[in-house]
Structure 1
Amino acid sequence: MTASAAQGLEALQPTHHGNWEPRRALTLNAARRRTALVSLLRMIFAGGAIAISLLVIAQMFFGSQGGSTESTEAVSTDVRMLNPRFTGRDENLTPYTVTADSAIRRSDSAIGLTDLDRPRLEYDLLTGGGAESLVLAESGVYDPSNRIIDLNTEVNLNTAEGYSFATDHARVYLREERVVGEEPVDGNGPMGQIRADRFEIHDGGDRVIFEGRVRARIVQDRTDTATDGDGN
């Protein structure tokens, strides 16, 4: 073999033969690093999934607890009573009794306001003793803390002396032995008839005040002719 041919064969031989093993080692190290990174990411994702699952479970648990509280609050709504009966005494120790067909105690009222259906009041406020008065209305509101009864719609006040008053509103102040009506009132009794825009009853019924357009029909004697009168 000639020298030129030998040189040609040497040119075909791979150069830097000794660099192949280090490159292979570098490739294996990179693969191992990637494998470690993938394993780390898997652990992170698995931990995150566990944390999210625990968070969801905790929210469901506390949500169920909150639902129980809301259910308890829902139960504590307005209290409805059938044939209720409220008793008490005014400042002069005069007894009174409030009854109704039904009543609803308002849950959002701090003073115990109670809505009454067809309320009735047995109380000698209007008579000053002896037989008790009876007040009827279609609806009303009882305030036990302030001892006030609001009567609304077709209010009728009847006294033992045979007098009756009809109006659409009357407020009874049990503590003060006073009744105030801001709606027109019609009154009938042994002395005749009276109509006015407003009225007030004071001093336990000893004094009655009519205001506004007052019109009275007074009967002096059953055998006499009735007389009419107007006043303010």
Structure 2
Amino acid sequence: MTSLTASSGRDAFEPAASGRWEPRRALALSVARKRTAFVRGMRLLFTAGALSIAALLVVQLVLGSSGNATGETEAVSADVRMTNPRFTGRDESLTPYVVTADTAIRRRDAADGVTELERPRLDYDFLEAGADVSRVLAESGRYDLPNRILDLYSDVNFRTRAGYTFQSDHARIFLREERVTGEEAVEGTGPMGTIRADSYEITDGGNRIIFSGNVRARLIQDRTAPIPDASPEEGND
């Protein structure tokens, strides 16, 4: 009896059988490995998300800053639409100008720097001296930024600083040169009368105007100018 009791007491102080420890150790290692894999996966996910956001920001900055234009941008299919765009620049005489519009659209297949405009306006002393700079020049237009050329289409209305007002369906304004050309019929009104022609060109900052093709003019005589006295010889003729 005594021998059996002593043996039972030693068993109480001996470590538990290996069959009880090893399952717990394996379970702990499995949990640790799963946790490491989860943390690694989350790191990869956050890294990919950060790279995607950075790429989108770079694309928006490039599209928004190209062409010295400001405005709210919105991607529509493959085109980029800007609300209230603003283009600034200077001509050869360093005279500043500002081109604005209700909306600007940059087509995917358009040439670099070319933007379509809806209801364009122009703040420029060459054409808008003394006029309301918020006035719409045309229903639509196209601005070629690299060449500083503004094309206006449909219901074009503008005025030179010499006091002449023109209406046409097309005007091409060379902003660097203070020059305007038009290949559509034009009607003009100014201090000397009215004129109509098939095409026209305005140069020298508005001081010289050339009309071509079926030109019809009506001159207004200045009745306030004194009439020279006729000599007797001329009166007898």
Q: Deviations over 1:134-189 (max 9, x none)?
A: 56001000010110011001111123454210000011111222111000100012
Over alpha carbons, which structure has the higher Rg? Answer: 1
Mapping for residues 23-172 of structure 1, pairs under 5 Å? 77-126=78-127, 131=130, 136-172=137-173
State the alpha-carbon separation in 2 of the partners of residues 105 and 223 from structure 1.
Answer: 53
Q: Which residue of 2 aligns with 1:216?
A: 217
Q: Which residue of 2 aligns with 1:205?
A: 206
Are 1:122 and 1:132, in contact at CA under 8 Å, matched by a contact in 2? no
**CA deviation after TM superposition for structure 1 residue 100, in Å:** 0.8
Are 2:150 and 2:173, in contact at CA under 8 Å, matched by a contact in 1? yes
Give the 3 Å change call, closer, same or farther, for CA 222–138 of structure 1 in structure 2. farther
Q: Deviations over 1:75-108 (max 9, x none)?
A: 8822111111111111221111111111112233
Secondary structure (helix, strand or coil) at the match of 1:121 reads strand
2:148 is matched by which residue type in structure 1?
Answer: R
Please give the root-mean-square deviation of Cα atoms over the aligned residues, in Å: 2.8
Give the 3 Å change call, closer, same or farther, for CA 162–125 of structure 1 in structure 2. closer
State the alpha-carbon separation in 2 of the partners of residues 206 and 133 from structure 1.
Answer: 21
State the alpha-carbon separation in 2 of the partners of residues 80 and 219 from structure 1.
Answer: 47
Are 2:126 and 2:161, in contact at CA under 8 Å, matched by a contact in 1? no
Give the 3 Å change call, closer, same or farther, for CA 222–165 of structure 1 in structure 2. farther
State the alpha-carbon separation in 1 of the partners of residues 208 and 91 from structure 2.
Answer: 18
Are 1:199 and 1:209, in contact at CA under 8 Å, matched by a contact in 2? yes
Give the 3 Å change call, closer, same or farther, for CA 218–133 of structure 1 in structure 2. farther
Mapping for residues 13-32 of structure 1, pairs under 5 Å? none
Q: Deviations over 1:15-40 (max 9, x none)?
A: xxxxxxxxxxxxxxxxxxxxxxxxxx
2:126 is matched by which residue type in structure 1?
Answer: L
State the alpha-carbon separation in 2 of the partners of residues 103 and 119 from structure 1.
Answer: 9
State the alpha-carbon separation in 2 of the partners of residues 211 and 101 from structure 1.
Answer: 33
State the alpha-carbon separation in 2 of the partners of residues 170 and 91 from structure 1.
Answer: 20
- Give the fraction of aligned pairs with identical amino acids, expressed as a percent: 66
Secondary structure (helix, strand or coil) at the match of 1:200 reads strand
Structure 1 regions of 5+ residues with no counterpart? 1-67, 225-232
Q: Deviations over 1:55-74 (max 9, x none)?
A: xxxxxxxxxxxxx9xxx999
Are 2:162 and 2:206, in contact at CA under 8 Å, matched by a contact in 1? no
State the alpha-carbon separation in 2 of the partners of residues 92 and 106 from structure 1.
Answer: 32
Q: Which residue of 2 aligns with 1:29?
A: none
Are 1:133 and 1:157, in contact at CA under 8 Å, matched by a contact in 2? no
State the alpha-carbon separation in 1 of the partners of residues 116 and 100 from structure 2.
Answer: 11
Are 2:141 and 2:151, in contact at CA under 8 Å, matched by a contact in 1? yes
State the alpha-carbon separation in 2 of the partners of residues 145 and 83 from structure 1.
Answer: 20
Secondary structure (helix, strand or coil) at the match of 2:201 reads strand
